[in-house]
Amino acid sequence: MVGIFFGSNISPGSHALRKSAVDVAEGSGKSTGPGQRRFYAIARGSTMECAAIIDACRALSLIDPGQTDEAGQLLLSTVGMLSRMCRP
């Protein structure tokens, strides 16, 4: 089971997406504001990494532009939410 989440054969996009979710969960478990904000900021960076991967795939015509538009909107919304969560 661990190999599914932390195996060496996962794509960079999958890794960034999992890391984002794990960091949000870890931040939620912290009892202090600064501790939470640190993990939310890391999750925001991982989410931005996902957006960069989608942009690269679109530029290389590896995925359908319609799918990239929808994914981009979801990622933009997520980055905005995480940015608000990072504020003191």
Q: Could you tell me if residue 46 is inside a domain?
A: yes
Angle between helices 33-59 and 12-28 (to 10 degrees): 160
pLDDT per residue as tens digits for the range 16-63: 777 787 888 888 888 888 989 998 999 999 999 888 888 888 888 888
Cβ atoms within 10 Å of 21's Cβ, excluding its own: 13
Q: Could you tell me if residue 6 is inside a domain?
A: no
Q: Could you tell me if residue 15 is inside a domain?
A: no
The encoded tokens of residue 50 equal 């996902």
In total, how many domains does the chain have? 1
Kindly report the CA angle at 54 between 36 and 1, in degrees rounded to 5? 60
User: Residue 84: what pLDDT?
Assistant: 95
Q: Could you tell me if residue 13 is inside a domain?
A: no
Residue span of the structural domain in which 59 resides: 21-86
